[in-house]
């Protein structure tokens, strides 16, 4: 199959890879990081340290989301990602305990929470180093204010709202009362007949919803137009990161399994997507 002849006409690349097992864990990692951020907004006490840990996690996940992992999804990376997923679940569980102030009052005397935050931050730095070795991520900034803010957190129970200051999206289409992405105007080279390609430089997502609800992680549907025929809808899992305004996900259509990466453009008010196929993987 000659993929090079059609690559110039599309921003979608087709990746022939034999290691798909890390795709679901990546989606889980993005989802847990979003849960950590949302949970941090709801904590009643110890808010500063929770926010610092959440911000460092967002930084790491942001770097991870920007990388093309198709060339390094081997068994070693697969294990590293699963260890990171387990660590993030531990962080989410620990941060969740601070939602109830009564629990914190019982814990405050023994100061165990301070050591736990230090341990989690050290572990996060180690995961950053491991991933940096595997795929070349930028190292996380050191958390030098950890100890300084610990006492301030004890005395503060104010909660700060997270500002999702997104520009107003363009248009949205709802199909069968489900979240839906309509991708149009796809063309395919005759030499790569089975693999759909975009004919324009940007994927236009047709959305018509308020800006507060458009960036919602979950199960979405999409369909594409090719050879005067619509295909789909197909289900795909998407995770929106409001901190970096990026999208990551995965799904499967009539061609095969694929990975999605994208970012929101403030200039165009659109989401630009890249879709990488593992052609015929599950067919």
Residue 248 · residue 241 · CB < 8 Å = yes
Last residue of a domain, one of 114, 129, 155: 155
Residue 275 inside a domain? The answer is yes
Owning domain of residue 271: 164-279
Tell me: do 140 and 33 sit in the same domain. Answer: yes
Residue 221 · residue 206 · CB < 8 Å = no
Is the overall model pTM greater than 0.85, yes or no?
no
Residue 3 inside a domain? The answer is no
Last residue of a domain, one of 120, 155, 190: 155
Tell me: do 172 and 147 sit in the same domain. Answer: no
Tell me: do 134 and 179 sit in the same domain. Answer: no
pLDDT in tens, the chain (283 residues): 444 433 333 333 333 333 344 567 888 898 999 999 999 999 888 888 999 999 999 888 888 877 766 666 777 788 888 899 999 999 999 999 888 766 656 556 556 788 889 999 999 988 888 777 766 554 444 454 554 555 455 445 444 433 443 333 333 333 333 344 444 334 333 334 444 444 333 333 443 333 444 566 667 777 877 777 888 888 877 777 777 778 777 778 888 777 778 887 778 877 787 877 765 443 3
Check the CA dihedral 9-281-16-137 and report its sign.
positive
Long-range contacts of 190-196, Cβ-Cβ distance < 8 Å, separation of 24 or more = 191/1, 191/2, 191/5, 191/6, 192/1, 192/2, 192/3, 192/5, 192/6, 192/14, 194/255, 194/279, 194/280, 195/3, 195/14, 195/255, 195/277, 195/279, 196/12, 196/224, 196/226, 196/231, 196/255
Residue 129 inside a domain? The answer is yes
pLDDT for res 107: 59
Q: For residue 264, which of 65, 26, 131, 24 has the smallest C-alpha distance?
A: 65
For residue 107, what are the CA distances in angstroms to 49, 68, 110, 145? 15, 43, 6, 22
Residue 260 inside a domain? The answer is yes
Enter the tokens of residue 219: 């199960």
């Amino acid at each position: 199959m000659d993929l090079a002849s059609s690559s110039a006409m599309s921003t979608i690349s087709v990746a022939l890879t034999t290691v798909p097992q890390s795709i679901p864990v990546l989606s889980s990692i993005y989802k847990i990081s979003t849960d950590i951020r949302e949970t941090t907004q709801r904590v009643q006490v110890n808010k500063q340290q929770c926010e610092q840990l959440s911000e460092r996690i967002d930084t790491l996940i942001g770097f991870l989301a920007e990388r093309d992992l198709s060339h390094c999804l081997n068994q070693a990376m697969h294990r590293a990602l699963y260890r990171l997923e387990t660590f993030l679940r531990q962080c989410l569980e620990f941060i969740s305990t601070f939602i109830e102030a009564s629990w914190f009052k019982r814990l405050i005397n023994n100061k165990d929470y301070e050591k736990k935050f230090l341990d989690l931050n050290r572990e996060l730095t180690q995961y950053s180093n491991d991933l940096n070795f595997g795929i070349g991520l930028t190292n996380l900034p050191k958390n030098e204010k950890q100890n300084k803010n610990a006492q301030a957190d004890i005395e503060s129970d104010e909660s700060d709202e997270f500002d999702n200051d997104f520009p107003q999206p363009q248009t949205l289409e709802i199909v069968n009362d489900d979240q839906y992405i309509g991708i149009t105007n796809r063309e395919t080279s005759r030499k790569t007949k089975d693999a759909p390609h975009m004919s324009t430089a940007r994927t236009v997502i047709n959305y018509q919803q308020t800006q507060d609800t458009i960036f919602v992680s979950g199960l979405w549907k999409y369909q594409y137009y090719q050879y005067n025929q619509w295909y789909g809808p197909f289900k795909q899992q998407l995770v929106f990161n409001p901190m970096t305004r990026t999208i990551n996900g995965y799904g499967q259509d009539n061609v095969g399994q694929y990975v999605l990466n994208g970012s929101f453009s403030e200039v165009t008010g659109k989401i630009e997507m890249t879709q990488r196929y593992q052609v015929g993987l599950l067919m």
